[in-house]
Amino acid sequence: MPFPVTVNGRTWTQEDFNPWAYANNFPDLIRDTAEVGGRADIARQQVEAIYAALLSQTYPVVAVTGPLSLSHAAHNGRILQVSGDGAIVAPWPALGAGFSCLILNLRPLALPITASGTELRHPDGHNKVRVNGMAALIGIDAGPAQLQLLGQTEA
């Protein structure tokens, strides 16, 4: 074991583990280790609870069979399952900051996404969801306002 070792904010050196010192330090080391273990167990329980809550969520699915102009009321927090022809238009005034949706493209062609009233942003300049791909569309008011497209996309 490399020294020094810090447990629960206390630094232990190799000298602390010598035979006589170890006998004196053992109760403190066990107490520190138990406290760290207890916090780790609580953290694990919290992560498991959050994960279970996420898994229990259901997201409404909106079937899209033709061209669509998005709105906050009808499409925020939804999965858009696109199987028809046409593009998706994302008008900023109707969406705004905080808007988000997932877009699943089930069409045989890439699905174009067009923004109006703001810029559609993607790190690689993409503006389409790939065939059988899924992407997130997120409204951000980062001065200037923008719609961010992330996921399985293409130009």
Which tens digits make up the pLDDT trace of 100-119? 999 999 999 999 999 999 98
Phi, psi (degrees; rounded to nearest 5) at 74: -90, -20
Q: How far apart are CA 60 and CA 67, in angstroms?
A: 19
Per-residue pLDDT of 10-26, as tens digits, reads: 787 877 776 666 667 77
**Contact 85/102 with Cβ under 8 angstroms?**
no
Q: What is the DSSP letter of 97?
A: T
Question: Smallest Cα–Cα separation from 13: which of 22, 21, 4, 2?
Answer: 4
CA distances from 93 to 6, 41, 59 (A): 54, 46, 24
- Predicted structure pTM score: 0.64
Q: How far apart are CA 86 and CA 79, in angstroms?
A: 17
